[in-house]
A = this chain, B = another copy of it.
């Protein structure tokens, strides 16, 4: 009994590797030149295998694209979904989260993914759905939970934790991210990046009225 559904093919041991190689090649090529400008021939040239197997595995260029995005979203955003809350003191925790956040966002792959989502979201609605649910939504939820803890401990005032979590992300990546991602300015040096994040965190701490006491490790859960 063999169902030859378009996208579900029984994976021989070697075919899985081919599939992965093709996804990697697709990511590399599409992230570099964009969806329209990326040619399947170039992808196959890079992945090995053949055009025929590409069509067998993914059905079409769009199919390959979606599969690649799904796989890449999960991979790239993984680090964001479990922020490190181990630091001493609320401000230090927020700083650590900010640094991890920016480290991921400034990755070439994450920048390319961001461009894809912005550019092709209208034509491929599944793309931003996947992106937001894998990335921002999960980070916002985790962060909101942490902020609610601070509020309940009395060391900060966070009446709307989810909105505040979103605002945190906005402040941290800031205008800087737009300029890097569009190429209008170069990647920041570590020192500049650290200064940027610290200013953003300072502002955020004012915003949630973080008690200076909580800075010494009182406000954690």
- Shortest Cβ gap from A34 to chain B (Å): 7
Is the C-beta of A114 less than 8 angstroms from some C-beta in chain B? yes
Instruction: Say yes or no: A114 contacts B125, CB within 8 Å.
Output: no
- Shortest Cβ gap from A189 to chain B (Å): 17
Is the C-beta of A166 less than 8 angstroms from some C-beta in chain B? yes
Is the C-beta of A182 less than 8 angstroms from some C-beta in chain B? yes
CB-CB < 8 A to A34: which residues of B? 36, 119, 123
Is the C-beta of A155 less than 8 angstroms from some C-beta in chain B? no
Instruction: Say yes or no: A171 contacts B171, CB within 8 Å.
Output: yes
Binds B, one of A61-69, A145-153, A203-211: A203-211
Instruction: Say yes or no: A170 contacts B175, CB within 8 Å.
Output: yes
Instruction: Say yes or no: B166 contacts A128, CB within 8 Å.
Output: no
Majority SS at the chain A contact face: helix
| Interface 1/0 per residue, A7-31 and B, CB below 8 Å | 0000000000000000000000000
Is the C-beta of A45 less than 8 angstroms from some C-beta in chain B? no
Is the C-beta of A47 less than 8 angstroms from some C-beta in chain B? no
CA distance A180 to B36 in the complex (A): 23
Instruction: Say yes or no: A136 contacts B175, CB within 8 Å.
Output: yes
Residue of B nearest to A130 (CB): B184
Within A34-61, which residues are at the interface with B (CB < 8 Å)? 34, 36-37
CA distance A163 to B171 in the complex (A): 10
Contacts A136-B175, A163-B199, A207-B206 given: A115-B125 contact, CB under 8 Å? no
Q: Which of B128, B136, B204 contacts A183 (CB 8 A)?
A: B128
CA distance A171 to B204 in the complex (A): 11
Q: Which of B117, B163, B171 contacts A182 (CB 8 A)?
A: B117
User: A interface vs B, CB < 8 Å?
Assistant: 34, 36-37, 114-115, 117-123, 125, 127-129, 131-132, 136, 140, 160, 163-164, 166-167, 169-171, 174-175, 178-179, 181-184, 199-200, 203-204, 206-207, 209
